[in-house]
Amino acid sequence: MSKDILNLEPKTLWKNFYSLTQIPRPSKKEEKIREFIINFGKNLGLETFVDEIGNVIIRKPATPGMEQLKGVILQGHLDMVPQKNSDKVHDFEKDPIETIIDGEWVRANGTTLGSDNGMGVSAAMSILESKVISHGPIEVLLTTDEETGMTGATGLKPGILKGEILINMDSEDEGELYIGCAGGTNGNFHFAYSEVSVPGGHTAFKINVTGLKGGHSGVDIHLGRGNANKIMTRLLWYGAHNYGVRLSSIDGGSLRNAIPREAFAVVSLPTARKDEFLRWVNGFSQTVKKELTAIDPDLKIEAISCGLPNNLIDETTQHNLLYSLYGCPNGVIRMSNEMKGLVETSTNLAIVKSENGVIKIQCLLRSSVDSAKDDLEQMMQSVFELAGAGFVFDGKYPGWKPNPDSDILKIILDIYNKKFGKIPEIRAIHAGLECGILGGTYPAWDMISFGPTIRYPHSPDEKVNIVTVQRFWDFLVETLKHIPTR
């Protein structure tokens, strides 16, 4: 476990990835990994600095005789998504990631692995420390807080970087070259509620929705996986209408960009109705399991007896909450007309949490078409505003418009074909690569994105394919040898 990955090829990349697994780096908590990367660059004798927003930038001069090549920016992000199974004891701010070799894959032990974007960061580190790889001028840009706000990309100032070609290493399908991505918006909704006493003659239950796979709310949204918040809403809505269920608290999901795997609620209902309610919950559980059996076979829905809560959410707010959550769009809204198999527009009902008199609902809206994203915002605003909720849309970031005439694209298509005997697919991704934001600040950059094959990022099932890591590395090294001249 863990150190076994040091025996994998390419050893230089896996060595650096192992180092990253030992350093906590959840989003907005990148202090330790930032310090590590700074020391890494300085110990190599390379120009290393941090910009005002917290991005780390390292420069490496060209191999002698290759100074005439265009400068390349190797780009990735420092942070990782902190997700774990409910039975896993792990502190993402203190504990290292435990890695496991599982056949053709490397995964973690009950947590996210951090291959998103640890693989890209490790590759950049390996290029920086190599004394044998030929390349032109290199700049490494490692951004901060990509996963929760793209803060680093948004805060990067013009004029800091000198290169002309950006290679983003945050894609997740080896053999595919990405030339476009979706933009996004955060949807924030809230209800203020009053606390009322539990009526006499009530019994309380804790409702658990667990065992879902979750996953990346962009990359995996088309897979039709269960959304714990939607399932919980369905249960509570029916329970309130038919068994007098009253809601005390709700807590579902934890990250905007992760499909929620778990949701929990504490409810009460008239004791006289508890047996029929429990029978219904059992039947409801079987119904939803059948609906999702092909994609989420481990779903578990439970109603467990518990002590009466101190208070309940007032009935009017409960009604408005459950109706708006039930009506809230979720999942794929529209597929792309231009690129087969690509999601154009989607939304993820990511977080529902009651605390201190406020219920917060957070969603992440994605689209490669700005007008479609605006339409989705208005749709969601309509649902929640009718229910009396407050709302704010923020954190907007642009998409990356594909450029099929890109010079670097033409060059690396040829490189890949010569090296691996096939033409890679040219794709856009329904996720928020930083290229869209970075290209807005540096519009002259020619940009491309590629990486090894990663499955189920943003969930504890995250894994990276071992063979594709070697192919990704070989392709990157070969690409750097063939960058065009200025």
Asked whether residue 401 carries a pLDDT value surpassing 90, the answer given is no
Instruction: Classify residue 232: in a domain, yes or no.
Output: yes
- Output the average pLDDT for the chain: 96
Higher pLDDT, 352 or 3: 352
Residues 77, 58 share a domain: yes
What HEC string does the chain produce? Answer: CCHHHHHCCCHHHHHHHHHHHCCCCECCCCHHHHHHHHHHHHHCCCEEEECCCCCEEEEECCCCCCCCECCEEEEEECCECCCECCCCCCCCCCCCCCEEEECCEEEECCECCCHHHHHHHHHHHHHHHCCCCCCCCEEEEEECCCCCCCHHHHHCCCCCCCCCEEEECCCCCCCEEEEEECEEEEEEEEEECCEECCCCCEEEEEEEEECCCCEECCCCHHHCCCCHHHHHHHHHHHHHHHHCCEEEEEEECCCCCEECCCEEEEEEEEHHHHHHHHHHHHHHHHHHHHHHCCCCCCCEEEEEEECCCCCEECHHHHHHHHHHHHHCCCEEEEECCCCCCCEEEEEEEEEEEEECCEEEEEEEEEECCHHHHHHHHHHHHHHHHHCCCEEEEEEEECCECCCCCCHHHHHHHHHHHHHHCCCCEEEEECCCCCHHHHHHHCCCCEEEECCCCEECCCCCCCEEEHHHHHHHHHHHHHHHHCCCEC
Q: Are residues 390 and 435 in the same domain?
A: no
Same domain membership, residue 218 and residue 135: no
Query: In the structure encoding, which two tokens stand for residue 23, read together?
Result: 């350093």
Q: Give the model confidence (pLDDT) of 180-232 as tens digits.
A: 999 999 999 999 999 999 999 999 999 999 999 999 999 999 999 999 999 99
Q: Specify the CATH number for the domain of residue 209.
A: 3.30.70.360
* pTM score: 0.79
Q: What are the tens digits of pLDDT across the range 294-305? A: 999 999 999 999
**Mean pLDDT within 234-251:** 98
What pLDDT score was predicted for residue 337?
85
**Within this chain, do residues 149 and 193 fall inside the same structural domain, yes or no?**
no
Question: What are 252-269's pLDDT values in tens digits?
Answer: 999 899 999 999 999 999
For the stretch 35-50, pLDDT in tens is 999 999 999 999 999 9
162-166, 177-181, 190-194, 477-481: which range is least confident on average? 177-181
* Over residues 268-291, mean pLDDT: 98
pLDDT over threshold 90, residue 275: yes
Average pLDDT over residues 395-418: 91
Q: Tell me: do 212 and 167 sit in the same domain.
A: no
Integer CA distances (angstroms), 137 to 64, 128, 268, 345, in order: 10, 11, 65, 38
- Tell me, what amino acid is at 168? N
Q: Stretch 423-445: mean pLDDT, rounded?
A: 92
- Tell me which of 116, 139, 145, 146 is the catalytic residue: 146
Q: Which of 364, 397, 430 is the last residue of a domain?
A: 397
Give the residue carrying structure tokens 């420069």: 59
The CATH number given to whatever domain includes residue 168 is 3.40.630.10
- Residues 134, 52: one domain? yes
Decide which of 397, 430, 447 is a domain's last residue.
Answer: 397
Structure tokens at 380: 């969601």
Lowest-confidence segment of 104-113, 273-282, 334-343, 420-429 by average pLDDT: 334-343
Q: What is the pLDDT of residue 431?
A: 87
Domain that holds residue 408: 3-182+399-481
Same domain for 48 and 143, yes or no, is: yes
Note the pLDDT of residue 340.
81
Same domain for 23 and 135, yes or no, is yes
What pLDDT, on a 0 to 100 scale, did the predictor assign at position 398?
Answer: 87
Domain edge (last residue) among 335, 370, 397 = 397
**Range with the largest mean pLDDT of 1-15, 332-346, 444-458:** 444-458
Catalytic residue (one of 30, 79, 174, 344): 79
The answer to the question of residue 323 being in a domain is yes
Please report the pLDDT score of residue 1 as a whole number: 58
Average pLDDT score over residue span 164-190:
95
Domain count, the chain: 2
Does the active-site annotation cover 104? Answer: no
* Residue 486 resides in a domain: no
More confident of the two residues 255 and 61: 61
Task: Check whether residue 390 and residue 445 sit in a common domain.
Answer: no
- CA within 13 Å, CB half, 356: 0
The per-residue pLDDT for 149 is 84
The model's pLDDT over 335-368, given as tens digits with 9 standing for 90+, comes to: 998 788 889 999 999 999 999 999 999 999 999 8
Catalytic-residue membership of 220 = no
229 & 110 share domain: no
Does 131 lie in the same domain as 10?
yes
Do 191 and 337 have their domain in common? Answer: yes
pLDDT for 433: 87
